[in-house]
Structure 1
Amino acid sequence: WVVAECEARGARATAVALDVSDAAALASALAEFEAERPVDLVVANAGTSFGTAPDGTPETGTAAARQVEVNLLGAIHLVGPLLPGMLARGRGAIGVIASVAAFRGLPDCAGYAASKAGLLAWAEGLRAALGPRGIRVSVICPGFFDSAMGDRFLGPKPLRMTLERAAARTNRALLRGEARVVFPAPLGWLLRLLALLPPRLGDRAMRLMRFRVRAE
């Protein structure tokens, strides 16, 4: 439906279904895109989540590793093959969808928070390195918003936003080339402040926000 929506607005669109953790397959598909028309904007948005099950079963190491493969390594696999072309042209834009979960480890989603923390650090390092070379990197850190993934979380979802509002804020950030966008801002500031507390106090506060995650 995304292709149909784009074409209805007058754009040319092509869809390819790939696992972003498959670096070779992704690089091959990206080479075809680059050969047809140079890529001037790439958005790393693929993501998956697991966590503590509704019955209290903790997240497994395999589940945590899978989130790192998709959420962090998937973004690296996507952006990496496009960088040579952007650098050669001296222009381009990269959007990386991280999360407010990157600011503080979450008791029930440690793997997800770890993957997004790594993604945030990688993207901000990339932004610092590539900015002087004409390439903009926008790091987007959303909180809860209406989505299939969000609906799987059972528990408090403070300051949850509509999908339309979250998409509009992300689109505006990409068009403007904003360096970092956090929304909703109060939730982002809260998690950053909790990260500054002594660990024992921060952990106690985070336990008040516990939630469970339904299987996909």
Structure 2
Amino acid sequence: MINLVIADDHPVVREGLRAMFEAESDVKVVREISQGSEIFDVATQLWPKFNVLVLDARMPDFDPIVTVRNISQFDNTIKIMILSSYDNSEYVLGLLNAGARGYALKDEPRATLISAIRIIADGETYMSPKIASVYIRQQRRLIEDRDRLLDLTGREQEVLSMVGIGLDNQQISDRLNISYETVKNHLRNIYSKLGLTNRYQAIVFAFRSGLAKVE
């Protein structure tokens, strides 16, 4: 028997998912969660009495990436399937990297969603074809960005990583013990080598390439 926990803030959606999944003889919904702020506590207290947490990552009152990461750190055998209408590449990648076992879109056929649940319950990963193509494109872009980092000197990479975490030029100057003008020169070189035009683009590149990370 596959026991599910469904987390979605819309009652109609939860009712529809329950009806769809429980029409299968081997699937049972053991708990519904309506508040994003309750997800971590309910999941960790109820585990291991369920197989898969079906999570709408667009619920209010919680950070989906942080919540998925925290649940995975609590017990990395907890299987989480994201069920969403949102297919932004950065968003998908963040949730998968945080520990989600699968990502499906709400508009997928009933049979596809049921298959996804079974696949994840068996310990495998699932991505809808559309999400898989997004993920592959994102991974290719990540590899390309990391390759482009090789065009930068070690010092330029240090400067870019500090730009990524929000330091201003004076803070970078103080931290690296170099002059303010030297920092500006490094930034000009970084922009030129990477084809960037402003600090915002530099911040995005720093995170996208993995050079900067949220602590």
Please give the TM-score of this superposition, normalised by the length of structure 1.
0.40
Pick 1 or 2: higher relative contact order, CA cutoff 8 A, min separation 6.
Answer: 1
Please give the TM-score of this superposition, normalised by the length of structure 2.
0.40
Bigger CA radius of gyration = 2
